[in-house]
Amino acid sequence: MSFSSTLTRRGPLRGPRRENLALLALGLALLLTMFISLGLGRADISWSETIRLLGLKLTGQAVDPALRREEVVLFSIRLPRILLAFMVGAALSLAGAAYQALFRNPMVAPDILGVSSGAGVGASLAIVWGLPTIGLHLMAFLFGLGAVFLVVFVARIVGQGKSILVLILVGVVVSSLFGAVGSFIKYLSVDDQTLSAMVLWLMGSFAQSGAWRNAPIMAVALALGVIPLYLTRWRVNALAFGEEEAQALGVNVEKLRLFVIFASTLLTASAVALCGLIGWVGLIIPHLARFLVGPNFSRLLPATLLGGGLFMLVVDSVVRVALPGEMPVGIVTSILGAPLFIYILCVGRKVWN
């Protein structure tokens, strides 16, 4: 049984011209959204002040001391959060696209190999042990990576590293195991504050972006994940017809697969470790990106990066400005994600075989 979602592109323009235009449009939309998002917020800063401050910053001029408060709000609070939201959305979406290509399955999300549940356990332990924030990020990251290594390792033993199905099934098993361990830790924590800290972390949020602390970390992780995927952006396509065909086309499938898993896991684990669980983005954005530029990974890669970043930025801006309190962004992505996905299912052609 397999599902094929071949959202086919229609309209007057087909081929590379349309795809280049789509990428350009995404890029422009992203810049515009970043600017608007910078100007939006609880602190009352007028658009003219925003534009003036941005102009001063971009040209490297000194800022008038009278605008000191506005400068801090724009460039030490909003800007790092905007960049972090963009990078996390980009990372999750690209990881999703890579996993979908790897598993030849458009229904796969970036946490298919257990990253999220692993990270959840790491974060919960860090909260129980009262580690500082940076320790929490580190624990979540290491446990996320650890869960995936466990999956790959067990799958190698069970399926001699050959079957992609074994990998997915072991992923499900390990996810479930780590999920249970996470629940166990929550069950043991008698103190309400610890418990609510854990639950809140699992919901995913950009509220704790720690000014400029997290954005550079995410930038490094994003670069480390994007580069290997960029290098293999053509080769990954050859996996679309299955393992044997890819081998017959001259691809060393086992090596390529580990390479892609490593890069995608790095992307997902760092995003989850810094911002908690933010669902649906990594599943839906690759679909929409394929709708715009097609499945060729050379174009899908920039499209998911831009599209994922844009989507996350829009959602986080709405959360920041329009919703009361600091609603975890993961809740909003899930509420938006479910109907959006149903829409994709309706538009996409369904093939059951």
Partner 1 sequence: MELILDNISCGYGKRVILQGFSAAIPTGQVFCLLGPNGIGKTTLFKAILGLLPLKAGRASLDQSDLRTLSRPKRARLMGYVPQSQFTPFAFSVLDVVLMGRTAHLGPWGRPGRVDYQVAEDSLARLGLEFLRDRYFTELSGGERQMVLIARALAQEPMFLMMDEPTSNLDFGNQAKTLRIIRQLADQGLGVVLTTHYPDHVFQCGDQAALLKPDGSQLVGPLRRVLTAENLSEAYGVPVAVLEWPDKRQDLTICRPVYD
Binding site for partner 1 (CB under 8 A): 2-9, 14-15, 101, 104-106, 231-235, 237-238, 240-242, 244-245, 247-252, 290, 294-296, 298, 349, 353
State the minimum distance, in angstroms, from the CB of residue 55 to partner 1.
39
State the minimum distance, in angstroms, from the CB of residue 237 to partner 1.
6
> Of 61 and 160, which has the nearer Cβ to partner 1?
160
Distance of alpha carbon 82 from alpha carbon 94, whole angstroms? 18
Q: Which amino acid is at 169?
A: L
State the minimum distance, in angstroms, from the CB of residue 240 to partner 1.
5
C-alpha dist (Å) from residue 237 to 193, 198, 299: 48, 39, 11
State the minimum distance, in angstroms, from the CB of residue 230 to partner 1.
9
Chain-centre distance of CA 135, in angstroms? 21
> Of 81 and 235, which has the nearer Cβ to partner 1?
235
> Of 39 and 161, which has the nearer Cβ to partner 1?
161
Helix/strand/coil (H/E/C) assignment for every residue in 133-181: HHHHHHHHHHHHHHHHHHHHHHHHHHHCCCCHHHHHHHHHHHHHHHHHH
> Of 135 and 295, which has the nearer Cβ to partner 1?
295
State the minimum distance, in angstroms, from the CB of residue 268 to partner 1.
21
> Of 31 and 248, which has the nearer Cβ to partner 1?
248
Helix/strand/coil (H/E/C) assignment for every residue in the chain: CCCCCCCCCCCCCCCHHHHHHHHHHHHHHHHHHHHHHHHCCCCCCCHHHHHHHHHHHHCCCCCCHHHHHHHHHHHHHHHHHHHHHHHHHHHHHHHHHHHHHHCCCCCCCCCCCCHHHHHHHHHHHHHHCCCCHHHHHHHHHHHHHHHHHHHHHHHHHHHCCCCHHHHHHHHHHHHHHHHHHHHHHHHHCCCHHHHHHHHHHHHCCCCCCCCCCHHHHHHHHHHHHHHHHHHCCCHHHHHHHCHHHHHHCCCCHHHHHHHHHHHHHHHHHHHHHHHCCCCCHHHHHHHHHHHHHCCCHHHHHHHHHHHHHHHHHHHHHHHHHCCCCCCCHHHHHHHHHHHHHHHHHHHCCCCCC
State the minimum distance, in angstroms, from the CB of residue 114 to partner 1.
23
> Of 68 and 349, which has the nearer Cβ to partner 1?
349
State the minimum distance, in angstroms, from the CB of residue 251 to partner 1.
6
> Of 40 and 289, which has the nearer Cβ to partner 1?
289
Q: Which of 125, 103, 122, 101 is nearest to 113 (CA)?
A: 103
> Of 233 and 320, which has the nearer Cβ to partner 1?
233
> Of 23 and 125, which has the nearer Cβ to partner 1?
23
State the minimum distance, in angstroms, from the CB of residue 280 to partner 1.
19
State the minimum distance, in angstroms, from the CB of residue 20 to partner 1.
15
